[in-house]
Amino acid sequence: MTVADPGPDDGDLAAKALAGSEAAFASLMQRHRSRVYRLILNSVGDPDEALDLVQETFLSAYRALGRYDGSRPMAAWLATIALNKCRDLARRRALRRFFFGARSVDEMADSIATNGPDQAVAAEQRQETARLRAAIAMLPATLREPLLLCTVEEMRQSDAAALLGISTKAVETRIRRARIRLAELLAG
């Protein structure tokens, strides 16, 4: 049995990208794009905003590539940048709400109902997923981030703690609190 060559590791690709190889950075983006998107989508709850933030994340990563430590996991470095982009969006949203007091047109739009049993089930699942994402997005960042990193991204609590700059016990406590708060939000 032949094992496929996984290709260069993230550190090598980052070094090549830093040296000017667009193909190397494109490989990094390809390798990490879906994980970054999933993290952001679960944090902000809006697919269109998530796509925009993924682009911003990779643009920021490209600009900061010189600060990347090739001995550390690229996924964790990108997750840090992605979470910072989510925090920036949350600040912009709060500022908009403060000044304009209204929800965006997208937030006020109703879902379009579909007909048929399969479509009804799919629509219900999409609605439940959207409801869960909205509830997660309502959590404060201190609860949302550890929850997403450990449950969605399947990161170990110790790795999430290092990424967030808090203790492993704090991650555990915040996940527990996030789950309790989510249950309350979804029940109400």
pLDDT in tens, 41-61: 999 888 999 999 999 999 999
Mean pLDDT throughout 117-138?
A: 80
Task: Say whether 2 sits in a helix, a strand or coil.
Answer: coil
SS3 annotation, 114-138: CCCHHHHHHHHHHHHHHHHHHHHHH
Delimit the domains of the chain by residue range: 8-101, 121-188
CA-CA distance, 21 to 129, in Å (whole number)? Answer: 39
Mean pLDDT over 11-16 rounds to 92
Q: Helix, strand or coil for residue 109? A: coil
Dihedral of CA atoms 182, 183, 187, 188 in degrees, nearest 10, equals: -40
Three-state SS at 112: coil
What CATH architecture is 121-188?
Answer: Orthogonal Bundle (1.10)
pLDDT tens sequence across 149-169:
888 778 899 999 998 999 999
Share of the chain above pLDDT 70, in %: 84
pLDDT at 56: 95
Query: Which pLDDT score is estimated for 8?
Result: 84
Q: Please give the pLDDT value at position 186.
A: 86
In this prediction, residues 177-186 reach a mean pLDDT of 91
**What is the residue type of 107?**
E
In the predicted structure, residue 92 carries a pLDDT above the cut 70: yes
Architecture of domain 8-101: Orthogonal Bundle (1.10)
Q: Which range is least confidently modeled, 76-80, 85-89, 150-154?
A: 150-154
Q: Give the Å distances, CA to CA, from 58 to 96, 144, 175.
A: 25, 22, 27
Closest by CA to 58, choosing from 86, 25, 88, is 25
Tokens 């990094």, located at residue: 28
Angle at 154 between CA 61 and CA 57, to 5 degrees: 15
The more confidently predicted of residues 173 and 132 is 173
State how far the alpha carbon of 123 is from the alpha carbons of 64, 130, 158, 182, in Å.
41, 10, 37, 22
Task: Single out the residue of 159, 152, 156 nearest to residue 43, CA to CA.
Answer: 152
